[in-house]
Structure formats: structure tokens, C-alpha cells
Amino acid sequence: MHFKLIIIMVEDKRTQDILNTAREAGATGCTVLNQARGEGVRPIKTFLGLSIDNQVDVIMLLAEEHMSREIMETVAEAGEFDDTPGSGIAIQIDVEDAIGVRHQIAALAEAVEDRL
């Protein structure tokens, strides 16, 4: 079984909704890194040297390769990533090898078999 690492950066107030959506699309778990900061096309505005920006969470999902694109598209739609600037982004990276995912493989085997 081959995996992709999906990395999602989203406003912290939307994290739980994104996690719920990802699970509904087939994600079996995640890691959330809190209190990241992102900067887009326009620099962050400051007031007296203090930044006025939203906190961002980084969500990392290890997804089976046949399910990864659907998970990304579902999350992007739920988070309005393409519709609203600054709402979030999602990328995926090939995973060459993974250890400690035996329980995920068992849970995913039937779901992946149904898709193929």
C-alpha cells in the first residue's frame, strides 16, 4: 500500500470542520500543529509593530494514494480554499516509506479494494 502526505494549512477556527470533512472523505487520522503563521501574496499588516493576523493550524494526514485526491478536494471545497483568499491551502507529497501504520492499512484495505 502506498501513501501520500496531505498537508493542510487552515485558520485555527476552521480546523475541526476540516478534520471532520477529511474523516468523512476517508482519512483515518491526523496530526495538528497549532499556532503556525502564514503569509500570502500581500504582507501582513501591523499596528505599532504588532501583527494583526489569524493563527493557522497545520494539519498532516497520511492517506492511501487512491483516496488522497478525493480527500484533498473535499477538504478544499469545505474550506472554500479556491473561493476565499487566505482561507487555506492543501498540498500532497509522495511518501516513500512509512512505519507504524499497520493499523491504518488494516482499516483501509477494504475501502481501497472497493475503489479499485
* CATH code of the region 3-115: 3.30.70.120
Any idea which residue has 509593530 for its cell? 49
Give the DSSP per-residue string, 30-93.
-EEEEEE----SSPPPEETTEE----EEEEEEEEEHHHHHHHHHHHHHHHTTTTSTTSEEEEEE
Segment 17-26, tens digit of pLDDT: 999 999 999 8
Give, as one character, the DSSP assignment of residue 4. E
Whether this model's pTM surpasses 0.85: no
Segment 2-48, tens digit of pLDDT: 889 999 999 888 999 999 999 999 898 899 999 887 766 666 666 66
What is the rounded distance in angstroms from the CA atom of residue 112 to the CA atom of residue 26? 10
